[in-house]
């Protein structure tokens, strides 16, 4: 980029940043790489390489393992984030470096080092192309009626009771038409201190 174009671009960014005091635009100028959302794009030879990009304000405050959430939610979170990395990072060495960093984020949030190591080992054998084509089948789940409950550790028994006794519904000619498949048990978050304080302030 010529020096004249560089100056003109800086002037334009300064201009749009003065529209309103609350609006300030950040920018990056480079001839080789550029961050876009959570991806860093880099030119390498005749190819574009991709890697993860974290904003300066990202504190990596993932859900703490001691939080009152269904175990399957906490158990799947590290894997899903590692899968996201595998899809974004085009170079294997870069992926391994970023994945190791990701596991350290989760360790600081109380997750088991052994579980994180297992998830990382499983992800090492997955190529980027396979990760991009890998998707969970949602067609069946989308056709199942959801049973939404407010989460409590004791409520997890409801799902097991429902599945163990679903044959009663499936064998009945009338109810089998309404529930051809077992309902999907989903949980919503219970009110917490933050919710109470916000609602109190609004009143």
Same domain, 18 and 101: no
Does residue 171 register a pLDDT over 60? yes
The strand pairing partners of 48, in sequence order, are 43
d(CA 52, CA 89): 6
Same domain, 58 and 125: yes
User: What is the residue range of 38's domain?
Assistant: 32-135
Same domain, 120 and 54: yes
The pTM of the full predicted model, rounded to 2 decimals, is: 0.65
Token output for 197: 């304080």
Q: What is the pLDDT of residue 52?
A: 92
33 and 43 in contact (C-beta within 8 Å)? yes
d(CA 163, CA 58): 41
Any alpha helices (H) in the chain, and if so which ranges?
A: 3-16, 71-88, 92-107, 113-124, 128-133, 139-142, 156-164, 166-171, 175-178, 193-202
d(CA 176, CA 26): 57
Summarize the confidence of residues 147-165 as an average pLDDT: 81
- Residue range 106-143, pLDDT digits in tens: 999 999 999 899 999 888 888 888 888 865 545 555 67
Same domain, 181 and 115: no
Domain boundary among 120, 135, 150: 135
Query: Tokens 């789940």, residue?
Result: 141
Same domain, 45 and 22: no
**Residue among 84, 67, 91 at smallest CA distance from 119:** 84
Q: What is the pLDDT of residue 137?
A: 47
């Amino acid at each position: 980029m010529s020096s004249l174009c560089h100056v003109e671009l800086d002037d334009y960014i300064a201009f749009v940043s003065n529209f309103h005091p609350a609006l300030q635009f950040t920018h990056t100028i480079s001839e080789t790489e550029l961050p876009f959302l959570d991806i860093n794009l880099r030119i390498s030879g005749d190819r574009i390489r991709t890697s993860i990009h974290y904003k300066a304000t990202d504190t990596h405050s993932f859900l703490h393992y001691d939080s009152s959430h269904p175990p399957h939610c906490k158990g799947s979170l590290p894997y899903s984030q590692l899968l996201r990395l595998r899809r974004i990072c085009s170079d294997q060495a870069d992926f391994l470096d970023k994945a190791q960093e990701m596991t350290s984020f989760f360790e600081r949030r109380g997750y088991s080092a052994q579980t994180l190591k297992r998830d990382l080992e499983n992800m090492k054998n997955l190529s980027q192309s396979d990760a991009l084509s890998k998707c969970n089948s949602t067609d069946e789940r989308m056709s199942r009626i959801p049973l939404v409950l407010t989460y409590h550790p004791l409520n997890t028994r409801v799902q097991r009771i429902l599945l163990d006794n679903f044959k009663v519904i499936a064998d009945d000619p009338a109810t089998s038409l309404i529930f051809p498949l077992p309902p999907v048990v989903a949980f919503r978050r219970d009110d917490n201190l933050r919710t109470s304080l916000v609602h109190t302030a609004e009143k």
